[in-house]
Amino acid sequence: MAGDDDDDEVVRPDAEMPGDTSTLVPLFAELSSHLASCNFKAIQTFREIQMLLAGSPLMAEMESLEKSVDWLDFDEAGKRLRKVALALDIPDPGV
């Protein structure tokens, strides 16, 4: 959450990242839109992304994103979403 010392670090693990992000790009954009409008559909969209990234090196960041979404801290979730997008070379989803 806000104030964590490692909030500015970009996740760039050495382990293999998902190669094809074409499925993720529209989901990231959708989640970004839901977060920006404080729409509860963000929870469902996050769960879809979470399933697609299960077992990836991004699990720690996804857990932080999950906490923000679960606590309905959509501003913080947007920041964390951008970090995950950057790690996956996905264009800024724009929250």
Beta carbons within 8 Å of 91's beta carbon, 6+ residues apart: 25, 85
Beta carbons within 8 Å of 72's beta carbon, 6+ residues apart: 38
CB atoms within 10 A of CB 78: 20
pLDDT at res. 22: 86
User: Does residue 73 or residue 94 have the better pLDDT?
Assistant: 73
Residue 65 token pair = 């994103």
Three-state secondary-structure class, residue 74: helix
Distance separating the N- and C-terminal Cα atoms of the chain = 16
pTM of the model: 0.78
Reported as a single tens digit per residue, the pLDDT across 15-39 is: 455 557 888 999 999 999 999 999 9
Mean of all residue pLDDT scores within the chain: 83
